[in-house]
Amino acid sequence: MSLKGDVCVVTGACGFLGNRLVKLLLDEEKLAEIRLLDKNMQPQLLQSLEDCRGDTKLSVYEGEIRDGDFVRRACRGASIVFHMASIIDVNEAVEHSEIYGVNVKGTQLLLEACLQENVVSFIYTSSIEVMGPNPRGEPIVNGTEDTVYDSTLKFTYSKTKREAEERSLQAHGEVLQNGGRLATCALRPMYIYGEGCRFLLGHMGDGIRNGDVLLRMSRPEALVNPVYVGNVAAAHLQAARSLKNPQKRNVIGGKFYFITDDTPPVSYSDFNHVVMSPLGFSIREKLPLPLSLLHVVCFLLETLCLMLRPFVRIVPPLNRQLLTMLNTPFSFSSEKAQRDLGYVPRYSWEEAKRRTVEWLASKLPAERERIRYK
C-alpha cells in the first residue's frame, strides 16, 4: 500500500540509517511532507535531499527529543513516525541519565505526542542487542522471534533500547485524541553496515595505525549476520506500508521483527576484513590474548576505572560485555518479516559489499592523512 499524501516524521533523520530512509521515501513515495527531526542538522545533507525531493515538502525540526513541546509540534498533522533517534554506546562511555533520557524518556514523549496529535502509525527502530548476548555468552544460531533466551543484559544501551521497544509495542492500540487507535511495531536489525557506517571507519583507522593490519577481537567461529543499511531502510518502508493496510495492521501491530539479508554469516572482525581486504588490509590471525585471559584483563580494567570514578571518569577501550558480544555466535532469520511485512532485501550481498568497499575506498586517503598528522 502506498504512502501517497502522508506526512511522516523521521527522528534521527541525519543519522546513518535515518538519512538512507529519507532518500528512499523521496525516491519511492509521493509523500506530502517529510519532517526531518534531529538534534544537529547538517547543511550538506539537507542540500542533497532538496535536490531530489520532487513535490514532497521537506521540513526541518532541529531540537531535543527530550523536549515534549518540541516533539508534539513535530508530530502535529503527521500520520507516520519512524523513530530512529537514539544514543548508541557499547563502551559505557555515556552517563546513564543521558542515555536513558534520550532512549527511553525521548521515546515515551514521542509516543505521548502521537496520541495527542492523532498519529496513526509508529515504527520503532530497535536493535539486535535487546536480545543479547547475555553475560554467559550463550549462542543463538538462526534464531526467530519465538526463540526463548535468557536475555539478561548488562549494557545500559541494550537495557534502554529494550525498555523503549517494550513501551513502543505496549502503546499499540492506545486511543488517540480523535478516537482512533495507534498502531506500532518494532524492527530489530542486526549490525548495520554500509556507506556512512562510523564503526567501519573506526576499525579502518585502527588498522591504519597498526600498519594496515586489522585488529582481531572476534573468534572466527563467532558468527553473526550483518545487514546492509539499504535493506534496513527498505524494511522500515515496508513496515509503514503494512501498518497503513487495514488487513495487515492488526497482524503486525504490537510485534517486533528481526531484519537480516543474504550477507554471509561471519564474525565481526572477519567482516571488517571482508570489506577492507580489497583496500590492502590484512588481519591478525588470533586474538591478542586467549579469550579467558582477555576477560580477566577487562575485569581488572573495569575495577580500576570504577575505583577512579569519584576522581576522574576513564572509559576502558574494551569491557567484558563487549568482549562477550564480539565472541558469541548470534544470528537470526528474517522469515517472519518477509511473511508478515512483505519485506524483501533490495540489495544482494555482492551489491552491498561493492557499495561499502567503494565508500571506504573514497574515505581511505583522508583517513590516512588525518592519522598521519594526529
Work out the mean pLDDT of the chain and round it to a whole number. Answer: 93
Q: Report the alpha-carbon distance of residue 251 to residue 142 in Å, rounded.
A: 23
- CA 112 → CA 56, 77, 99, 160, 203, distances in Å? 26, 14, 19, 18, 39
Q: How many residues appear in the chain?
A: 374
Catalytic residues: 157
Which of 321, 296, 309 minimizes the C-alpha distance to 90?
321
pLDDT at 44: 72
CATH architecture of the domain 7-196+226-263+331-347 equals 3-Layer(aba) Sandwich (3.40)
Calculate mean pLDDT across residues 194-212: 94
DSSP H helical ranges for 13-105: 16-28, 43-50, 68-75, 96-100
- Selection from 20, 27, 25 nearest residue 6 by Cα: 25
pLDDT at 151: 83
Distances (CA, A) of 285 to 54, 214, 217, 218, 296: 50, 10, 10, 10, 21
pLDDT band with cut points at 50, 70 and 90 for residue 374: low
Range 174-201 average pLDDT: 96
pLDDT at 93: 83
Phi, psi for 313 (deg, rounded to 5): -95, 115
Per-residue pLDDT tens over the stretch 289-313: 999 999 999 999 989 888 888 888 8
> In whole angstroms, what is the distance from residue 217 CA to residue 298 CA?
13
H or E segment to which residue 360 belongs: helix 349-372
* Higher pLDDT, residue 45 or 305: 305
**Amino acid identity, position 308:** L
Q: How far is CA 46 from CA 37, 39, 58, 61, in A?
A: 12, 14, 9, 12
Q: Tell me the C-alpha distance between 341 and 326, whole Å.
A: 30
CA gap 100, 95 in Å, rounded: 9
Q: 108-142 pLDDT, tens per residue? A: 999 999 999 999 999 999 999 999 999 999 999 99
Crossing angle for the helix pair 268-276 and 198-209, to the nearest 10 degrees: 80
More confident residue, 14 or 52: 14
Q: Hey, where are the domains in the chain?
A: 7-196+226-263+331-347
Predicted pLDDT of residue 111: 97
Instruction: Write the pLDDT tens digit of every residue in 251-271.
Output: 999 999 999 999 999 999 999
pLDDT digits (tens, 9 = 90+) for 345-370: 999 999 999 999 999 999 999 899 88
What is the arithmetic mean of pLDDT over 202-212? Answer: 94
Q: Is the dihedral angle over the CA atoms 166, 170, 172, 174 positive or is it negative?
A: negative
pTM (predicted TM-score): 0.95
Reference 4, options 74, 80, 59, 61; nearest CA is 80
Task: Tell me the residue type at 297.
Answer: V
DSSP character for 187? E
